[in-house]
Amino acid sequence: MTEEAPTTFDLIVRGIDAFDEKVRAVPPDAWVAPTPCADWSVRDLVNHVTGEHLWAPHLLDGETIAQVGDRYDGDVLGDSPLTAWESAADASRAAWLSTSPGAVVHLSFGDNPALEYGRQTLSDLLIHGWDVARGAGLDETMDPATVASVLGYLEANAKSWEAAGIFAPSVQIDSDDPAKRLIALSGRQP
């Protein structure tokens, strides 16, 4: 009997849960700590990811960028970063679990299947989860199945994302470790 590989949507739920563990573990004094994302503190990074997950239910439900508007611009964490993240994560998790991979999602760069949006979301969760861990001094271990999925996706897209300014130039490393290769490919020093 062979084990079936998890789907992108299964991995997103795992990614949300892994990011949640990291957010819960941020020490009170680490919210202002710098992260590998230039100019972003741990709080700034959690704010970014929380905002992305506030958007997800709308986009997965077929809304356009214009329909969502600017309601999630700025600080979405307020006085309770953990509570804000939990609320966004719960709604996002539910939306991903009820979405078809072929559903059309209206993104800033055009209409795409939900599966493509899912791959981007999974990449964001994994890489920014590592960023939060590095910034807050937490365990940087990443789920191997998620690493394998995101690494393949990044290998196909990192150069164009780098050219678009989404990623810093990849970091050259001498390692066969998939997690280190993924982090280096995303423009970070593992």
Amino acid at 84: A
Structure tokens at 43: 């709080």
For residue 121, being part of any structural domain is answered with yes
Residue 94 CA to residue 22 CA, distance in Å, equals 20
Q: What is the CATH number of the domain that holds 123?
A: 1.20.120.450
Residues in the chain: 190
Range of the domain at 36: 8-140
Determine which of 91-95, 115-119, 149-153, 165-169 has the lowest per-residue pLDDT on average. Answer: 165-169
For residue 97, being part of any structural domain is answered with yes
- Count of domains for the chain: 1
Residues 58-111 have pLDDT tens digits of 999 999 999 999 999 999 999 999 999 999 999 999 999 999 888 999 988 889
Residues 35-53 have pLDDT tens digits of 998 889 999 999 999 999 9
Res. 6: pLDDT tops 80? no
For residue 98, being part of any structural domain is answered with yes
The pLDDT assigned to 5 comes to 59
For residue 189, being part of any structural domain is answered with no
For residue 188, being part of any structural domain is answered with no
